[in-house]
């Protein structure tokens, strides 16, 4: 195991030293896009040295091809994993921060194996177990990084599928983020069911 990978286990090791055994990591993907759901993942990974997967990092720092491979390895090794999403309509109703918190809590509470403790990227999530929010946790914690990668791959693949249903917007390219091409398409075609109305009100009025 490299020094970098050992460093990514620092928070997990602190939890183990406190007596926690089943450590869940949780992260979200898709808080910023103009369209599509926010997606969260909670995962409990084995932390024996022989089970550590090399190359885990913030999903945004990993190439698409490598993310796909790592996600497969994570899902194969995970003790438990849960992916949840909150749809655009609900995001508009309760706001993106509350939607993200709800999505994360649903993931943690939906794990088939109950964790002893939760490491969460940035947010303090109210669940039945102690939660330790870590700023930039997806880059600093192995377990949160695993959750980040699974959530990213799930959401990206989802947006590629949505692109077939709504071909006017180029979802397969930008995954719902506010690129110039995407904003131009909204202005010309109007929004579809996937668009977050509260996110596009600066340039689109119903």
Q: What are the pLDDT digits (tens) for 5-50?
A: 889 999 999 999 999 999 999 999 999 999 999 999 999 999 999 9
Residue 1 pLDDT > 90, yes or no? no
Q: Tell me, what's the pLDDT at 111?
A: 98
- What is the value of pTM for the model shown? 0.97
Q: For 51-61, what is the mean pLDDT?
A: 95
pLDDT of residue 150 exceeding 90, the answer is yes
pLDDT band at residue 205 using 50, 70 and 90 as cut-offs: confident
Report the pLDDT value the prediction gives residue 154, as an integer from 0 to 100. 98
Say what percent of the chain tops pLDDT 90: 96
Predicted pLDDT at 6: 86
Residue pair 20/8 in contact by the 8 Å Cβ criterion: no
Quick check: 196 and 93 in contact, CB under 8 A? no
- Mean pLDDT for 148-161 is 98
What's the pLDDT at 5? 83
d(CA 186, CA 195): 9
- Judge contact between 53 and 74, C-beta under 8 A: yes
| pLDDT, averaged across the chain | 97
Q: Which of the four pLDDT bands, split at 50, 70 and 90, describes residue 176?
A: very high
Q: Summarize the confidence of residues 180-191 as an average pLDDT.
A: 97
166 or 2, higher pLDDT: 166
CA angle 104, 109, 110 (to 5 degrees): 95
């Amino acid at each position: 195991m490299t020094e970098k990978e050992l460093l990514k286990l620092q928070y997990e090791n602190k939890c183990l030293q406190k007596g926690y055994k089943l450590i869940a990591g949780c992260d979200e993907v898709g808080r910023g896009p103009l369209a599509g759901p926010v997606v969260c993942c909670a995962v409990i990974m084995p932390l024996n040295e022989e089970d550590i997967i090399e190359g885990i990092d913030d999903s945004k720092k990993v190439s698409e091809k490598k993310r796909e491979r790592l996600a497969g390895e994570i899902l194969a090794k995970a003790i438990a994993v849960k992916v949840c999403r909150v749809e655009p309509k609900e995001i508009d109703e309760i706001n993106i921060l509350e939607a993200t918190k709800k999505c994360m809590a649903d993931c943690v509470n939906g794990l088939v194996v109950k964790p002893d403790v939760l490491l969460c990227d940035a947010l303090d999530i109210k669940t039945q177990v102690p939660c330790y929010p870590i700023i930039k946790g997806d880059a600093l914690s192995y377990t949160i990084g695993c959750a980040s990668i699974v959530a990213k791959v799930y959401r990206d693949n989802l947006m590629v599928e949505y692109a077939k249903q709504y071909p006017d917007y180029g979802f397969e390219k930008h995954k719902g983020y506010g690129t110039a091409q995407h904003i131009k398409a909204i202005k010309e075609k109007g929004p579809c069911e996937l668009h977050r109305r509260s996110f596009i009100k600066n340039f689109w009025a119903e």
